Structure 1
Amino acid sequence: MNTKRIFDLLVSSIAILLLLPFFILVALFIAFDSKGNIIYAQNRVGRNKVNFRLFKFRTMCTNADKQGLLTVGDHDSRITRAGYWLRKYKIDELPQLFNILKGDMSFVGPRPEVSKYVELYDATQQRVLSVRPGITDWASIEYIDENELLASASDPETYYKTNIIPRKITQNLRYIDHKNLWIDMKIILLTLKCIILKHR
């Protein structure tokens, strides 16, 4: 077991234990706000093209993904009132701590995509599937305002495919070529900084 995996196991276990009371409060917030499951699970493509179920706190109305996979802006009509606040502070991502504990994900690594977009990767781009996907990475920091960018695009789907995906993969490959535990710590701290500064 390498250092990165030991770090993921240790920190995710401690975080889950410490955040359990907060998870209960968030679950109640979601349950009282709208009907549906507390947790939203979606198929994503993981390391070596193995699919897994990525967990999030539900922030949209039930069956929202049937209307499209991309979230366009913070005020997408499918987002619930509770979901708006959970997304704003990235709280909806916290259940991915269980994905990390299971070994599906890491704290730092390329964000996992749905198969619809992975099928567009060329041979070079598919190298991002050689490592565990993560909660955050360089691309997550660069595209902290991704939803707003998509909201301002005349064709969000095309813009995502032709502009955002290639740029994200470039950042992902940069991470893979230079990854180590210190880089991971830097990315985690920068991510937290970006979230805090964005909502000051």
Structure 2
Amino acid sequence: MRRYFDMLISLILLILLSPILFLIAIIIKIDSKGPVFFTQMRIEKNNKLFKFYKFRTMAVGTPNVATEELKHSQNYITSFGKILRKTSLDELPQLINIFKGDMAFIGPRPALYNQYELKELRTKAGVHKILPGLTGWAQVNGRDMLNDAGKTSYDKYYLDHRSLAFDIKILIRTVFKVLRADGIIEGASSKKNTAAEEQKKQTISG
């Protein structure tokens, strides 16, 4: 039932949002050279690989690593890409992945094919048995600020407490997180600095 619901809603959203998707595609082509979509091999249910879609926000030739691990990432992000990333509009093409059955609306964010540590941790925790999601419990509890162990811990909690009410809670929190652009870190140095700031805050408050 969950799968059919995701398929139906993703199709409806693709139709309703098609004018916005088309407009974004045009601006991307005007803003920089390269394709409209950024595709990447990511890990889905049972550790299978699938082609993951996003609107391209970086220049062609950017190293194929997780954004939070990319040094000097601001040098690679296009002008319009900054807006797309801040508003999370770059994630909209994943509605295609949801419709195809590669992803769900709620679940662990799909890891890159070369995020071996995260893949291993999720496999040990049994998280690999569920479809990755457009958003998830880890996404609304730190997002890029979490290390692999932290992400897996939240993903495991979601696995053990899955329910319609929990999914709705995550969706509502996602909306607020997107509006505030919470948890988005651009690049390895930013991640390190943010982590240090969080540690300092905890030390002071503790």
Partner of 1:143: 142
Partner of 1:159: none
Cα 1:115–1:198 change in 2 (3 A) is: closer
Aligned positions of 1:110-189 closer than 5 A: 110-119=108-117, 121-122=120-121, 125=124, 127-144=126-143, 146=144, 149=145, 164-189=147-172
TM value normalised by structure 2: 0.81
Cα 1:75–1:85 change in 2 (3 A) is: farther
How far does residue 64 in structure 1 lie from its aligned partner after superposition?
0.6
Cα 1:79–1:7 change in 2 (3 A) is: same
Aligned residues of 1:86 and 1:92 also touching (Cα < 8 A): yes
Query: Distance between the aligned counterparts of 1:196 and 1:99, measured in 2?
Result: 23
Residue 55 of structure 2 corresponds to residue 42 of structure 1: no
Task: Give the letter aligned to residue 36 of structure 2.
Answer: I
TM value normalised by structure 1: 0.83
Query: Distance between the aligned counterparts of 1:75 and 1:85, measured in 2?
Result: 15
Cα 1:28–1:122 change in 2 (3 A) is: closer
Task: Give the letter aligned to residue 50 of structure 1.
Answer: K
Listed as ranges, the gaps of 5+ residues in structure 2 are 183-206
Partner of 2:195: none
How far does residue 9 in structure 1 lie from its aligned partner after superposition?
1.1
How far does residue 74 in structure 1 lie from its aligned partner after superposition?
9.7
Partner of 1:69: 66
Aligned residues of 1:128 and 1:176 also touching (Cα < 8 A): yes
Listed as ranges, the gaps of 5+ residues in structure 1 are 150-162
How far does residue 7 in structure 1 lie from its aligned partner after superposition?
1.8
How far does residue 118 in structure 1 lie from its aligned partner after superposition?
3.3
Query: Distance between the aligned counterparts of 1:122 and 1:141, measured in 2?
Result: 20
Residue 75 of structure 2 corresponds to residue 54 of structure 1: no
Alpha-carbon RMSD across the aligned residues, in angstroms, is: 2.1
Aligned partner of residue 64 in structure 1, secondary structure: coil
Partner of 1:196: 179
User: Which range moved further: 10-19 or 190-199?
Assistant: 190-199
Task: Give the letter aligned to residue 176 of structure 2.
Answer: K
Task: Give the letter aligned to residue 70 of structure 1.
Answer: T
Percent sequence identity is: 37
Query: Distance between the aligned counterparts of 1:41 and 1:174, measured in 2?
Result: 29
